[in-house]
């Protein structure tokens, strides 16, 4: 299967063709869920791609937001000062948004010659468990159903019910509704 579907890549770093067998589509669904929960643990940073891999341990996104300006840096090791095992804050300030900088600086760099490792983000041990994967899948399923504004079969619009039920000031709710409908006065 590797030779047919992803001959030139790593399983976690590969996209799959749309046309494949039903069995492989089921495997792809499981792999997509796995990719959402896998995170790289930073040691020396030589195996982790800054803009492509999940390596920031936070709840809402494991990847960087993006670069503030054009950047040719590719590897996390380029963000670490040579020999000192500390983050290079000048480079971080130049290319990263504040949210990302704060998360990067929280990552403790181990001493010695450790290598980067893949871990499961949703378990403290870093080991995959079916239970945590199931919870992640259910969370993503819920997010997928709440971000869609299409009607349910019974005619209810769950997104808007949830929005209006939030304990927020009415002007914030109206702002969210206008934002979703491209109704903000931006000209």
Q: Does an H or E element contain 161, and which?
A: helix 158-165
* Contacts (Cβ under 8 Å, ≥6 apart) of 73: 50, 79, 91, 95
Cβ contact 74:50 at 8 Å? yes
**How much is the pLDDT for 152?**
52
Cβ contact 37:135 at 8 Å? no
- Rounded to whole angstroms, how far apart are CA atoms 42 and 61? 16
**How much is the pLDDT for 101?**
94
* Contacts (Cβ under 8 Å, ≥6 apart) of 33: 133, 136, 137, 140
Helix and strand numbers, DSSP H then E, in the chain:
7, 2
For the chain (187 residues), the mean pLDDT of every run of 10, in chain order, is 70 71 80 89 93 90 89 94 89 94 93 89 91 86 56 59 84 82 69
Q: Where are the domains of the chain?
A: 2-137, 148-187
Question: What separation in angstroms does the CA of 179 have from each of 145, 152, 157, 163, 185?
Answer: 18, 22, 17, 12, 10
| pTM beyond 0.75, yes or no | no
Cβ contact 135:122 at 8 Å? yes
Please, what is the angle between helix 158-165 and helix 170-180, to 10°?
150
- Rounded to whole angstroms, how far apart are CA atoms 69 and 166? 36
**How much is the pLDDT for 151?**
47
**How much is the pLDDT for 54?**
93
């Amino acid at each position: 299967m590797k030779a047919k579907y992803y001959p030139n890549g790593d399983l976690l770093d590969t996209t799959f063709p749309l046309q494949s067998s039903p069995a492989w589509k089921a495997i792809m669904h499981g792999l997509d869920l796995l990719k959402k929960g896998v995170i790289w643990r930073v040691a020396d940073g030589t195996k982790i791609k800054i803009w492509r891999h999940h390596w920031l341990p936070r709840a809402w996104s494991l990847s960087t937001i993006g670069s503030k300006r054009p950047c040719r840096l590719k590897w996390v090791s380029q963000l670490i000062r040579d020999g000192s095992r500390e983050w290079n804050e000048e480079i971080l300030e130049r290319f990263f948004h504040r949210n990302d900088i704060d998360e990067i600086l929280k990552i403790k760099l181990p001493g010695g010659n450790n290598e980067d490792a893949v871990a499961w983000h949703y378990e403290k041990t870093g080991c995959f468990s079916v239970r945590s994967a199931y919870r992640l899948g259910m969370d993503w399923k819920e997010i997928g159903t709440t971000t869609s504004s299409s009607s349910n079969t019974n005619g209810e619009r769950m997104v808007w019910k949830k929005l209006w039920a939030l304990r927020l000031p009415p002007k914030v709710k109206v702002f969210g509704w206008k934002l979703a409908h491209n109704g903000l006065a931006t000209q």
